[in-house]
């Protein structure tokens, strides 16, 4: 089987040169970083507030089982 003959003419189509929008890329990345920053701050404040409120309501802390529970003297008479 013989290969097909090459075309006798070539049709050229004019295509504009692509341009790179550097300003758009930079502004888009800064906008994404800003949204992530705001989300992280809001989430951090929310989690921190919940943790503070939970720990204030409970009489024990996470470290109570392993802490020494030393009695604190304020008058200084029993300091060793």
One DSSP character per residue, 22-49 reads HHHHHHHHHHHHHHHHHHHHHHHHHHHH
Q: What is the pTM of this model?
A: 0.52
Ordered per-residue pLDDT tens for the chain, 80 residues: 778 777 677 788 888 888 999 999 999 999 999 999 999 999 999 999 999 998 888 777 777 788 887 766 555 555 54
**CA torsion angle 27 29 32 36 (round to 10):** -120
- Residue 8, pLDDT score: 77
pLDDT digits (tens, 9 = 90+) for 1-10: 778 777 677 7
What is the distance between the alpha carbons of residues 32 and 28, in angstroms, rounded to a whole number? 6
């Amino acid at each position: 089987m013989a290969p097909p003959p090459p075309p006798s003419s070539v049709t050229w189509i004019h295509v504009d040169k692509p341009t790179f929008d550097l300003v758009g890329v930079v502004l888009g990345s800064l906008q994404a970083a800003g949204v992530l920053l705001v989300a992280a701050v809001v989430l951090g404040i929310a989690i921190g507030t919940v943790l503070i409120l939970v720990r204030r309501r409970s009489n024990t802390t996470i470290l109570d089982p392993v802490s020494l529970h030393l009695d604190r003297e304020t008058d200084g008479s029993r300091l060793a």
